[in-house]
Structure 1
Amino acid sequence: MPRFLTLADVCEQLQISTAQAYALVRNGELKAIQVGGRGQWRVEDVKLEEYIQASYARTERMVAENRSLQNPR
């Protein structure tokens, strides 16, 4: 896998739309850089993996919180 991915590559890997990928970059959830005269976005492969791992952690917390709300002790 190349070190840097295009947003099209990110869209394919995450199975999301281009608009969703741009939103992730714009709001800072997914770290990216702009390169070249046209300012095309590139995402480093490790940054995509960090985003995926953070998403797993966020989901785990959400599931645990919902479980505790449904089953109060």
Structure 2
Amino acid sequence: MEPRFLLLSDVATELNVSDSQVYHMVRSGELPAIKIGGRGQWRVERARLEEYIAQKYAETSDWVRDNPLVDRDPE
């Protein structure tokens, strides 16, 4: 059984990005997370991470649709 909540470093591994990139995503509100414990450690719920990934797929799909690859003549 997978854990419900992930460390930021676990999220970074899942997304293949740096820990600092995930921290920025969380602090900016781009990726929902919670602070827990006396030292305020960040945790991301796995379900929220999956929603975030699905949202990014949709955004990318829209971007690809709106920015079609145009064949270029060889120079």
Is the TM-score greater than 0.5?
A: yes
Q: Which runs of 5+ in 1 are unaligned?
A: none
Aligned to 2:51: 50
Aligned amino acid, residue 35 of structure 1: I
Q: Paired residues, what number?
A: 70
- What TM-score do the two structures reach when normalised by structure 2? 0.87
Secondary structure class of the residue paired with 1:28: coil
Aligned to 2:73: none
Q: Deviations over 1:5-57 (max 9, x none)?
A: 00011011001101100111011111000000110000000000000000000
CA distance in 1, matches of 2:8, 2:58: 23
Aligned amino acid, residue 41 of structure 1: W
Q: Provide the aligned C-alpha RMSD in A.
A: 1.5
Aligned to 2:31: 30
Q: Does 1:66 align with 2:67?
A: yes
Q: Which runs of 5+ in 2 are unaligned?
A: 71-75
Runs of 4+ deviating beyond 4 Å: none
Aligned amino acid, residue 49 of structure 1: E
